[in-house]
Chains A and B, each alone.
Chain A
Amino acid sequence: MNNPELKLHIKRLLVENLMLQTTAEEIADDISMFGPGGLGLDSVDALQLVVALDKNYGLKISDAEAAKVILRNVNTIAAAIEQKTQAAG
């Protein structure tokens, strides 16, 4: 799946909601959300991100296991949104 517009929107959402000290354009599609070498998000950021994804895309992440898979990077978030959109369509 490759939807540059959706990915850029996700990156902007990350920057705005989590007040990241970077620009959306600087975030790579495959950079890890959590841990060293990545964006360095923590559990509170994850909580905000889950709420923001639900609010903006109707993407509901109901358990921690699903969150681990979906919130890995921008690619995985975009894939989950597209999967949900296709399922709804």
Chain B
Amino acid sequence: MNPRVILVTGANGGIGQAIARSFLQESPENQIWLGIHARLDQAEKLAGESPDRCRTIALDVTRPDSWKAAVAEILARHQRLDVLVNNAGDHQDALLATMSLDSWQKILALNLEGVFHGCQAVLPTMIGQRHGRIINIASLSALLAPAGQANYAAAKAGVLALTRSLAKEVARIGITVNAVCPGYVDTATLAMDEMERKRAIERIPMRRFGQPGEVAAAVRFLACGEAGYITGSTLKIDGGIF
């Protein structure tokens, strides 16, 4: 496995942390950059464990100038960028009838436009390399469109469409673009009381929540050399829902 330079956004959360750890374990020579913005304690802790090959970098995914600065810093150190994992995201659930325009716009900016900006920021480098892997973390909500998640589901469904469209554009240049759709994953952001957890688990054929490491394993596979013929794909990681 050749050492690679990897940028993971939203690296403070449970899935982002697991993805970064997975790449750290993949090769002792991999260089991991943890994009962080609002929260940073977990990412800084992880970077502190492997300071020679895991670093945090300030990145507001909604701002093109922030992307430009982050990518420039990575290229200044490594002169290449092999993998981008667009993982940053959040949700603000509400019924559409009462959803504020601000909530709609904020969730689309973070979950969908953030992916757009990220892809634009890394593409010149990946095109120049004639190699690259982009993995977008979407959500099962993109496919199920649950009530109360019109903003989040629309944004994540947009990510799936963006993934397929971009995959076609850059396929011949050696760049693959794929998406994963995690279902219920046991992280701190999955804020549920006991009753909600019980009801959710009843809906999952495997009768358990997924672990962040199980999402990370899929991401690591899509980023590896052996996955070179997979592009424009959406991989569900949901314990068999629907």
> A residues touching B (Cβ–Cβ < 8 Å)?
17, 44, 47-48, 51-52, 54-55
Which of the four size classes fits the interface of chain B?
Answer: under 10
Is the pair B170, A51 in contact by a Cβ cutoff of 8 Å? no
11 chain-A/chain-B pairs, Cβ below 8 angstroms: A44-B172, A44-B173, A47-B127, A47-B169, A48-B127, A48-B173, A51-B124, A51-B128, A52-B128, A54-B124, A55-B128
Which residues on the A side are within 8 Å of B127 (C-beta)?
A: 47-48, 51
Majority secondary structure, A binding face: helix
Main SS of chain B's interface residues? Answer: helix
Most buried by B among A17, A51, A54, A55: A51
Nearest CB in chain B: distance from A74 CB, A = 21
Q: Which of A44, A52, A54, A55 contacts B170 (CB 8 A)?
A: A44
B residues in contact with A48, CB < 8 Å: 127, 173
Query: Mask for B169-212, Cβ within 8 A of A = 1, else 0?
Result: 11011000000000000000000000000000000000000000
Q: Which residue of B lies closest to A43 (CB)?
A: B169
**What residues on A are CB-neighbors of B124 within 8 Å?**
51, 54
CB distance from A38 to the nearest CB of B (A): 19
Q: Are B169 and A44 in contact (CB under 8 A)?
A: yes
